[in-house]
Structure 1
Amino acid sequence: MSLSNNTIARTYNKLFVELADPRTNDWFLITSPIPGLTIIYLYLQFVLKWGPRYMADKQPFQLQKTMVVYNFLQVLVSCWVFHEGLDAGWLRTYSWKCQPVDFSNTPEAIRVARGVYIYFLAKMTELLDTVFFVIRKKERQITFLHMYHHTVMPMISWGATKYYPGGHGTLIGVMNSFVHIIMYTYYMFAAMGPKYQRFFAWKRHITTLQMVQFCIAFLHSSQLLFYDCGYPRWSVVFTLPNSIFFYYLFYDFYYKSYKKPEEAKTNGQVNKENGLKDHPKIGNGTNEIKYQSDEKKIK
């Protein structure tokens, strides 16, 4: 038993102390994976069980002012991360082909590491997106894509902060922050009410932008297969499949949300031109009898 405990202790020490970046390892929520995983576990329990059960016999919360303030703060954080990522690296010293992590204690290296850490904290606060959906009874918004994204991103960004806070992989966070600037701005306007209705047309373009970011992330991460700069090549085992999977999920969402309604509208127009009503029961025999009856009356 003692030998087993020693093995577990050594493994834990190896994974979460020795391999960790000493500059970030003592930062809040980074030292151990347990606090972060506990938050995610409680989040899933609330979203899937506790929240719906609590709201079952209650009216949905409105939270208009809360949503405006929350989305505004998310925009500010995303702007800061986006600016830091460009100014501290990608527009100045970083290589677009292959960029290693600077593990030194220089102000520039610490600045990048801090940006990665703030990005991680932002992913944790974004769990509130789903909490607000639950208490506002917006269950249709809680899709598999939504849950997968909000569960996986905090874990990925935690790992980046603990082990590789900088370098090649940070471009994904910079692009994602840019997308979130636009996305949370849209949500903020949507929360302000109908008078901002003209801004709602952004939604489908935000989804397109998200798909573009995953294409860029895939191509950018793929460069690690050809260039060696010290950044871990094994990271492509996570980044490439994840980029493909995210792209597929967002494309599926885009098709179901925007393409299908357009096809249904087009088909409905064709049916009207052919003298048929755009009705979901067409083809089951009921409406066919009605149309035949109408034709007899016309004759």
Structure 2
Amino acid sequence: MVSDGNSTTIGSYSFPFGEQPDERTRTWPLVESLWNVPILLAFYLLMVLYGPKWTARNKPLQLRVPLFCHSLAMALLNAHICLELFISSRTLDYSFGCQPCLVSYSPHEMRIAAALWWFYISKILEFADTAFFILRHKWKQLSFLHVYHHSTMLILCWVFVKWKPTGSTFVPAMMNSFVHIIMYGYYALSVLGPRIQPYLWWKRYLTGLQLLQFTIGLVWAAQLVIRGCEYGTWISLSGGAYMVPFLFLFGRFYAQNYKVSADTKKAM
């Protein structure tokens, strides 16, 4: 085991125990302090724990207009993030396979960093999804998968923007923001009333797209580690490992919800 003051190396693998945060994003809002994430997570988990108890005393709210506006705004924000990452990464001729994170203040490098900061902020704004479930008494949707997903994505995105706000980080962020354009587009359409429902038959394929995202993410992270990409072994390993429980949880959700539906149709 070797330590150079910036990171700790075990064999050929480096871990960020002493690595300095990226100086470009270090002082950006909700990035610098180590207390940002614990405080936000505590607020979120308290909402999940006590919110249903408080709202159960009252009738469920419809909230169609706020839900539509939030979903549309999130779809547009993710479209902005995805477009910024795509344009800037293509302009800089970034490699999809392996792109080291270099401290550069060039305009397009900073556009990538800014897009990834907004990507992190979007994960905080997504807490509103949970609040809508609670206020509308959608207890079934307030599942372990939902809470785990929102809690852990906040942590991962904070790590990205604090230590690796450019480089290969653009790949999973661009992929995730693309999926969220479609996902929030579906949410916005779903609250427009029963006349729209017949046109939302593609919901199951949205879950399939999420599973494809996690599969690609796992394979992509594995190839970063195998080829020894200078992007950072520690974050590649963490990102790859993070995909595994999502593949299991979303796969189980898909099987429980859509296999049962298919079997019911066959029985009829």
> When the two structures are superposed, what TM-score results if normalisation uses the length of structure 1?
0.81
Deviation at 1:238, TM superposition (A): 1.2
Paired residue for 1:100?
A: 100
Q: Distance in 2 between matches of 1:93 and 1:30?
A: 27
> For the pair shown, which has the larger CA radius of gyration, 1 or 2?
1
Deviation at 1:225, TM superposition (A): 2.1
Paired residue for 2:227?
A: 227
Paired residue for 2:144?
A: 144
Q: Distance in 1 between matches of 2:199 and 2:31?
A: 38
Q: Distance in 1 between matches of 2:190 and 2:91?
A: 33
Paired residue for 1:26?
A: 27
- The one-letter code of the counterpart of 2:151 is T
Q: Is the 8 A contact 1:16 1:32 kept in 2?
A: no
Paired residue for 2:8?
A: none
Q: Distance in 2 between matches of 1:192 and 1:91?
A: 39
Q: Which has the higher helix share?
A: 1
Deviation at 1:226, TM superposition (A): 2.8
SS in 2 for 1:82: helix
Deviation at 1:17, TM superposition (A): 9.8
Question: Deviation per CA, 1:10-48, whole angstroms, max 9, x where unpaired?
Answer: xxxxx8997111110111100112123212111111112
Q: Distance in 2 between matches of 1:92 and 1:197?
A: 42
Q: How many residues align?
A: 253
How do 1:78-89 and structure 2 match up within 5 A?
A: 78-89=78-89
Deviation at 1:72, TM superposition (A): 0.5
Paired residue for 2:214?
A: 214
Paired residue for 1:48?
A: 49
Q: Distance in 1 between matches of 2:244 and 2:90?
A: 24
Paired residue for 1:199?
A: 199
| RMSD between aligned residues | 1.7
Q: Distance in 1 between matches of 2:175 and 2:261?
A: 29
Structure 1 stretches of at least 4 aligned residues deviating more than 4 Å after TM superposition: 15-18
Identity among equivalent positions (%) equals 34
Deviation at 1:221, TM superposition (A): 1.1
Deviation at 1:95, TM superposition (A): 0.9
Q: Distance in 2 between matches of 1:169 and 1:221?
A: 10
Q: Is the 8 A contact 2:204 2:254 kept in 1?
A: yes
- The one-letter code of the counterpart of 1:33 is L
Q: Distance in 2 between matches of 1:104 and 1:149?
A: 32
Paired residue for 1:124?
A: 124
SS in 2 for 1:244: helix
Deviation at 1:169, TM superposition (A): 2.6
Q: Is the 8 A contact 2:222 2:237 kept in 1?
A: no
Q: Is the 8 A contact 1:16 1:31 kept in 2?
A: no
Q: Distance in 1 between matches of 2:260 and 2:212?
A: 21
- The one-letter code of the counterpart of 1:167 is G
Q: Is the 8 A contact 1:186 1:202 kept in 2?
A: no
SS in 2 for 1:27: coil
Q: Is the 8 A contact 2:225 2:237 kept in 1?
A: no
Q: Distance in 1 between matches of 2:47 and 2:41?
A: 10
Paired residue for 1:292?
A: none
Question: Deviation per CA, 1:254-296, whole angstroms, max 9, x where unpaired?
Answer: 0001002222443x34xxxxxxxxxxxxxxxxxxxxxxxxxxx
Q: Is the 8 A contact 1:222 1:236 kept in 2?
A: yes
Higher relative contact order (CA 8 A, sep 6+): 2
> When the two structures are superposed, what TM-score results if normalisation uses the length of structure 2?
0.89
Shift of the 23–92 alpha-carbon distance from structure 1 to 2, 3 Å rule, reads: closer
Paired residue for 2:11?
A: none
Q: Is the 8 A contact 1:102 1:109 kept in 2?
A: no
Q: Distance in 2 between matches of 1:149 and 1:218?
A: 16
Question: Deviation per CA, 1:42-61, whole angstroms, max 9, x where unpaired?
Answer: 11111122x11211220011
SS in 2 for 1:52: helix
Q: Distance in 2 between matches of 1:95 and 1:178?
A: 19
